[in-house]
Structure 1
Amino acid sequence: MALLLTYVLLGFSIALPVGTITIEMTKQGLKNGFMHGWIVGLGGMTVDMLLIIGLYLGLASVLSLPIIQVIMWLVGALFLCYVGYDSIKNANHDISLAGEKNTKSLFSSYKNGLLVAVSPGNLVFWVSVFGTVLADSFDQSNKGSFLIVGLGIMLGILIHDLGLMTIVATTRRALNHTAIKWVTIAAGVVLIGFAGYFFYQFVISVKQYF
């Protein structure tokens, strides 16, 4: 139990810094309510879980290859640029204030979570930081500890997401249509900023490795 609680706290701490997933969750939560923001987080957690399984099976050695990292930077830049552009373009669409009927599908929010999570920052983090933690916990004679570590971190991220969406849902009641629109535009600009940074890293990687 102590091991599980330790990694729940680690997972919660990991999720605290503001990143692309947090921005997308906040945007969707403000525009469409608690469930849509949380579903974005579940999309991100789906990618996280697949990466845990991949690391368990030895994916770290593949993702650490220079050519793969170069591709990840470019793909991540394109994905984030798409999500950011879509956020700005549709900033005035699909906004449902507290108490209004929601017209946006949950699957659309889940898809956004998947797209944002498939970014170099997220992948590099799991391979470097989390990959090291999992490697330390992995023991051929005791695979249970590996599963406990993975479960603990995912629970920590889930607790963070639920807490964040509770705050966003509460704040949303005090915002009008125009305020939510401009928050959405700002979120899109930030995501495009991340995309620019990833593209810069792509150029640096190309020069370094090729």
Structure 2
Amino acid sequence: MSLYFAYVMIGLAIAMPVGAITVEMTKQGLKNGFMHGWAVGLGGMTIDVVLILALYLGVAKFLALPYIQMPLWIIGAIFLFMLAYDSIKNADKDITLAGEKVNKSFFSTYRNGLLVAVSPGNLVFWISVFGAVLADSYSGNGANQFLIVALGILTGILLHDIGLLTIVSLSRKVMNRKMIKWTSIIAGLLLFGFGCYFIYEFYIDLKDLIV
């Protein structure tokens, strides 16, 4: 149990820094409430679970190849640019104030979480976190340890998401439509910035590959 709780804390620590998922969760949480913000987080965690399974099955070495990672930088940047454009263009749309009925579909926000999570940064994170236990993952004890580590980190991320969205939901009750609109615009700019960072990382990898 101590190993599990240790990795719960690691999951919390990893989820704390503001990233693209956090930005999208906060935006959707403010515009459409707790469940839609959480849908983004669930979308991100779906990719996390898929990556955990891929790592367990030994796919990590393929994900670490430059020829695999480089296209993902571009794909991730395109997804983020699309979300940034939508966030800014529709900043004053799909806003549901506290107490109003939400018309936006749960699946659409879940899909946004999937799109944001498909990024090399996310892949590199999982490869690095689970690299230490991959060597023993095919033995009996190693497999059990891998599962405990995975569950611990996912629990930590889940606790972070719930805590963040609880704060967002409480803040939403005192925010008006204009404040939420500008929050959506700022979120769009941040997502655009993350997309530019992905392009920069692609350029660095390409430069290193050529040299």
* 1:96-175 equivalences in 2 (<5 Å): 96-128=96-128, 130-135=129-134, 138=137, 140-142=139-141, 143-175=143-175
TM-score normalised per structure 1:
0.96
TM-score normalised per structure 2:
0.95
Structure 1 position 4 matched with structure 2 position 4: yes
Does the residue aligned with 2:140 lie in a helix, a strand or coil?
Answer: coil
Call closer, same or farther: CA 1:6–1:81 in 2, change over 3 Å: same
AA aligned to 1:138 is S
Does the residue aligned with 1:113 lie in a helix, a strand or coil?
Answer: helix
Percent identity of equivalent pairs: 58
2:176 is matched with: 176
Pick which of 14-23 and 198-207 moved more.
Answer: 198-207
AA aligned to 1:63 is L
Call closer, same or farther: CA 1:23–1:205 in 2, change over 3 Å: same
Within 1, Cα distance between the matches of 2:92 and 2:132?
43
Pick which of 164-173 and 119-128 moved more.
Answer: 119-128
Residue by residue over 1:122-169, the C-alpha shift from the partner in whole angstroms, topping out at 9 and shown as x without a partner, is 1111112x1324426635131211111111111111011000000000
Shift of 1:86: 0.9
| Gap runs ≥5 in structure 2 | none
AA aligned to 2:166 is T
Call closer, same or farther: CA 1:134–1:167 in 2, change over 3 Å: farther
Shift of 1:2: 1.3
Within 2, Cα distance between the matches of 1:146 and 1:200?
33
1:45 is matched with: 45
Residue by residue over 1:32-88, the C-alpha shift from the partner in whole angstroms, topping out at 9 and shown as x without a partner, is 000000110000000000000000011110011111111111111111111111111
Pick which of 82-91 and 133-142 moved more.
Answer: 133-142
1:24 is matched with: 24
Within 2, Cα distance between the matches of 1:192 and 1:202?
15
1:56 is matched with: 56
2:70 is matched with: 70
Deviating 4+ runs (over 4 angstroms): none
Residue by residue over 1:70-118, the C-alpha shift from the partner in whole angstroms, topping out at 9 and shown as x without a partner, is 1111111111111111111111110000000101000000000000000
AA aligned to 1:135 is L
Pick which of 56-65 and 197-206 moved more.
Answer: 197-206
Within 1, Cα distance between the matches of 2:102 and 2:51?
32
Call closer, same or farther: CA 1:95–1:137 in 2, change over 3 Å: farther
Structure 1 position 13 matched with structure 2 position 13: yes
Within 2, Cα distance between the matches of 1:175 and 1:167?
13
Within 1, Cα distance between the matches of 2:166 and 2:7?
23
Does the residue aligned with 2:93 lie in a helix, a strand or coil?
Answer: coil
AA aligned to 1:117 is A
Asked if 2 retains the 8 angstrom alpha-carbon contact of 1:39 and 1:106, the reply is yes
AA aligned to 1:111 is R
Aligned residues: 209
| Gap runs ≥5 in structure 1 | none
